[in-house]
Amino acid sequence: MRLDQLINQTLEELKQLGIAESTIKSYRYSAYSLIRNYCVKHGTNCYKPATLDSFLSAQKKRIENSEISKRHYRKLRRAVQMLHEIYQYGTLQWDYYSARSIYKSNDYFSLCLKEFLDAQHLSRGTIANLRTYILQFLCYIEHNGHCDFNALLPVVVKDYLMATAETHQGSMGNVLYALRLFFNYLKKKFIAVDRLKPDTE
């Protein structure tokens, strides 16, 4: 398989998992561009594990020479590991990589979200999108002083929708769909009450 094809597939997988665009760009330009250049310099534009192993060995020497940081090396190593994973399995481990989203919520919200997603029988890409939209909402309400759903009022939901509409002009339908599913799940679990309705009216 051509290396460029494998790299693009890996980056697309990260996008489907809801990884931040800035993180994906960082992998593209500060990791995969180096990997691609190294492979071409060593006579191949195809996926070859031996060449990738050689690349990582070269990066270890760069650490010893203080040319790169250990943090950057770990990033390069993760980039190579993802190439191996995509080549072998055609996919990435959802739990491992999606956990690196820029959005983080408290343990209670995280548990509610995980149980909700586990209960859904939807495509992998849809699950990833649901996670992103709902996690953004949970981070918003947590930032506004809510550690659970007990005191959450409709006005807070409406304020969130008004705020997020500015950055999701083309995808508000997806945001509303995600929140409706989530609220319906919470109501069935007696976690939230009927007053919470994700609409803009």
Query: 104-123 pLDDT, tens per residue?
Result: 678 888 899 999 999 998 88
DSSP per residue over 62-129, as a string? Answer: HHHTTSS-HHHHHHHHHHHHHHHHHHHHSS--HHHHHTT-S----HHHHHHHHHHHHT----HHHHHH
Phi-psi group of 66: left, alpha or beta (phi > 0 → left; psi -120 to 50 → alpha; rest → beta) = left
Rounded to whole angstroms, how far apart are CA atoms 169 and 180?
A: 18
Residue 99: both structure tokens together = 């956990």
pTM recorded for the entire structure: 0.52
Yes or no: say if 141 and 156 are a contact pair by the CB < 8 Å rule: yes
pLDDT in tens, the chain (201 residues): 899 999 999 998 888 776 778 888 989 999 999 999 999 999 999 999 999 999 999 999 999 999 999 889 988 998 998 899 888 878 776 454 554 555 567 888 889 999 999 999 888 778 888 888 898 899 888 888 888 888 888 888 888 898 888 777 778 888 899 999 999 998 888 776 555 666 544
